């Protein structure tokens, strides 16, 4: 019985990691403050910028693939006003450190080991991404990552940067 429950949970986690769900909405983005690599990362510090907020975990396979796309987006659009913040939700920071060693990030990394920020954003799977406009409005939500969806994400980034 226990193995069946674990199997169902594994399938659920895998499907959440592999299947992106796109939704658009407009509402105030929940304020947050997380520990970063070089100090606190506060959403309020990035008003006037477009924020791509990504939640990830060391155990998530699609999160590994998403970091390449996040690095590319950061390099391509940072000078135009994009800020990429990837928030790790692992309780053990060493797991995150190992992930980052294997998947270097050129963007900001934050840590939410207690899950308070992830809960405020109602994270439903890994990775989960949130597009926040220059006024601090949550504009789009993405669950999962597939390389073929990169063009849709880029279009959203370009659209928000043009506003």
Summarised one tens digit per residue, pLDDT across range 39-62 is 999 999 999 999 999 999 999 999
Q: How far apart are CA 158 and CA 163, in angstroms?
A: 9
Who's near 121: CB < 8 A, 6+ residues apart?
30, 53, 55, 128, 130
Q: How far apart are CA 77 and CA 107, in angstroms?
A: 11
Residue range 2-162 forms a domain whose CATH class is alpha beta
Q: What is the pLDDT of residue 14?
A: 40
Confidence of residue 9 (pLDDT cuts 50, 70, 90): very low
In this prediction the pTM is 0.84
pLDDT(2) > 80:
no
Q: What is the pLDDT of residue 27?
A: 86
């Amino acid at each position: 019985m226990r193995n069946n429950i674990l199997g169902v949970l594994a399938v659920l986690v895998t499907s959440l990691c592999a299947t992106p769900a796109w939704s658009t909405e407009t509402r105030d983005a929940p304020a947050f403050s997380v520990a970063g690599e070089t100090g606190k990362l506060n959403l309020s510090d990035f008003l006037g910028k477009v924020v791509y907020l990504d939640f990830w975990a060391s155990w998530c396979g699609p999160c590994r693939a998403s970091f390449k796309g996040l690095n590319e987006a950061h390099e391509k659009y940072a000078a135009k006003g994009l800020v990429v913040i990837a928030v790790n939700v692992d309780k053990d920071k060493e797991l995150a450190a190992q992930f980052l060693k294997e998947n270097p990030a050129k963007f900001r990394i934050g840590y939410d080991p207690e899950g308070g920020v992830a809960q405020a954003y109602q994270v439903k799977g890994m990775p989960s991404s949130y597009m926040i406009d220059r006024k601090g409005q949550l504009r789009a939500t993405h669950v999962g990552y597939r390389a073929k969806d990169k063009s849709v994400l880029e279009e959203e980034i370009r659209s928000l940067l043009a506003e």
